[in-house]
Amino acid sequence: MKLSGEALRARLEQELGAESVEFRPLFLEAYAVDGKSPGLLCLPAGPEEVASVLRLCAENQASVIPWGGGTSMSLGNIPRAAGVVVGLEKLAQLIEHDDANLTATAQAGMQVAAFQELLGQRRQFFPVDPPLAQLATLGGIVAANVNGPRRMQYGGVRDLTIGMKVALATGEQIKSGGKVVKNVAGYDLCKLFVGSLGTLGIITEVTLRMAPLPDSAASVVAAGPLDRCARFVEQLSDGPLLPAAVTILSAGGNAQTPAVATWVEGFEEAVARQLRDLAALADEAGLASEALRQEPHRRLWEEVEDFGANGEGVLFRIAVPIGAMGEILATIDRWSGEAATPARYVAHAGTGTVWLLAGNDPSSLGWFPRLIALAQGHKGHVVVAAAPPELKAGIDVWGPAPASLGLMREIKRRFDPQEILNPGRFLGGL
């Protein structure tokens, strides 16, 4: 029998304890998703309690919004309902750090910055640079498939996630992968849950690949006209240097011209050599260059990582083949010059990802169909990664549905038959 809202709250309080269930409207406003406030907030203390919450919500057809650090809640369509938010802040323990095998296992609610601090004690780190790392959680960046500038060297979240535990909508708990890099038995469900945005289950634990902490790190910023920046990137990709990240920054703000920021790291002798070679390459391309170390280096990449994360404006994520990056950016620059309010971008040249930030007004959505056509012309795609809810209404922020949508619907039906998990937020209204 389906319970009323009061009765469901009483059952959840019985399962978790009254102190772990919040229902005051003013408190719940902080957990609104695209303007929709939940009726309840649950803060389970462990994976078993997460599973219990899901089982009760499924039995009563109550919609569930998983919540980590809240940094990716602007991603996705407006949910059809926001009944119960399941916060994972109490699942924040490091379970195991196997430094010999460069792997670590942690609960999904652990914040990325805290995770990095613990790993750093053994001279290792998790090579993903998400926005707002002080708030972002491990489970959140895996569920949203959030990557950073150094993806070109270390791979993305999908590559670095080798195991996980998940609570399904039925209350069942499953495990996929393992604690070693080479585990190839059966279906790799990790790949299925990475980027699923909490629509198939709630991730409660992840096992991730680590990397040795580099001895030294620095950057070269080479500024000049966009065509010269593109030529610099092309020469860099054809050469022997192995940077950790190569990012093209548009003009705008305090920058008068576009620039290429190149991150290098490793032993100090190798870093110093790469800085000299990059300066020479920039000079050959007709760009003015500057080397950054320590705090200026850190601030530069923090700004790149947090680009568009303040919730102001419409943020687009464009993914195209690496070879198309120059043409894509030239077209965007031309359109931006014709717009009433110019857009700014951060383009990760080594992975083909462009983050474009337009204004906070309705006209900014006019970029969407143009960007879709531009990306599709290069076999890419575009997503509205963040926008005010009044601008997202009536559109699918994921763009045109792919040919695989039917298969995705069937997977959703098998994992979440009552469609209680993040209903409607994924592409095609899944």
Listed residues 179, 212, 245: the one ending a domain: 212
Q: Are 411 and 200 in contact (CB under 8 A)?
A: yes
| pLDDT tens for each residue of 166-218 | 999 999 999 988 766 555 556 678 999 999 999 999 999 999 999 999 999 99
Q: How confident is the model at residue 312 (pLDDT cuts 50, 70, 90)?
A: confident
Query: What is the SS3 assignment for 58?
Result: helix
- Pick the closest to residue 259 from 316, 307, 300 (CA basis): 300
335 and 194: one domain? no
150 and 78 co-located in one domain: yes
pLDDT bucket at 143, cuts 50 / 70 / 90? very high
What is the chain's mean pLDDT, rounded? 93
What pLDDT score was predicted for residue 310? Answer: 84
Confidence of residue 340 (pLDDT cuts 50, 70, 90): confident
Domain that holds residue 167: 1-212
Number of domains in the chain: 3
Amino acid letter for position 111: Q
* Residues 249-259: tens digit of each pLDDT: 998 766 789 99
In a domain, 416, yes or no: no
Question: Cα–chain-centroid distance for residue 159?
Answer: 14
Q: Quick check: 392 and 384 in contact, CB under 8 A?
A: yes
Q: How far apart are CA 394 and CA 223, in angstroms?
A: 40
Residue range 74-104, pLDDT digits in tens? 999 999 999 999 999 999 999 999 999 999 9
Residues forming beta bridges with residue 207, ordered by sequence position: 105, 163
228 within some domain:
yes
What CATH number is associated with residue 297? 3.30.70.260
CATH of the domain at 360: 3.30.70
pLDDT in tens, 20-49: 999 998 889 999 999 999 999 999 999 999
In the chain, what percentage of residues exceed pLDDT 70?
97
Residue 397 belongs to some domain of the structure: no
Residue 12 near residue 56 (C-beta atoms within 8 A): yes
Compute the distance between CA of residue 322 and CA of residue 305 in angstroms, rounded to an integer: 19
Residue 291: Cβ within 10 Å count: 18
- List, edge to edge, every strand of the sheet that includes 103-107: 94-98, 103-107, 202-209, 161-167, 173-177
- For residue 29, count other CB atoms closer than 10 A to its CB: 10
Among 48-52, 330-334, 363-367, name the one with the lowest average pLDDT. Answer: 363-367
Q: Which amino acid is at 332?
A: I
Please compute the mean of the pLDDT values over residues 239-246 and round it to a whole number. Answer: 94
Q: Is residue 427 part of a domain?
A: no
Q: Please check whether residue 180 is in contact with residue 162, taking contact to mean a CB–CB distance below 8 angstroms.
A: yes
Residues 6, 103, single domain; the answer is yes
Q: Residue 105 — φ and ψ, nearest 5°?
A: -120, 130
Q: Which residues of 171-183 are buried (b: 16+ CB within 10 A; e: fewer)?
A: bebeebbbeeeee
Q: Are residues 7 and 99 in the same domain?
A: yes
Of the residues 212, 227, 249, the one at which a domain ends: 212
Contact 201, 230 (CB under 8 A): no
Residue 359 CA to chain centroid, in angstroms? 21
Residue of 404, 397, 340 lying closest to 371 (CA atoms):
397
Of the pLDDT bands very low, low, confident and very high (cuts 50, 70, 90), residue 1 is very low
User: What mean pLDDT comes out for the span 365-369?
Assistant: 93
Is 97 within the bounds of a domain?
Answer: yes
pLDDT of residue 110: 98
Cα gap 105→172, rounded to integer Å = 21
Q: Are 200 and 414 in contact (CB under 8 A)?
A: no
Q: Please report whether residue 407 resides in a domain.
A: no
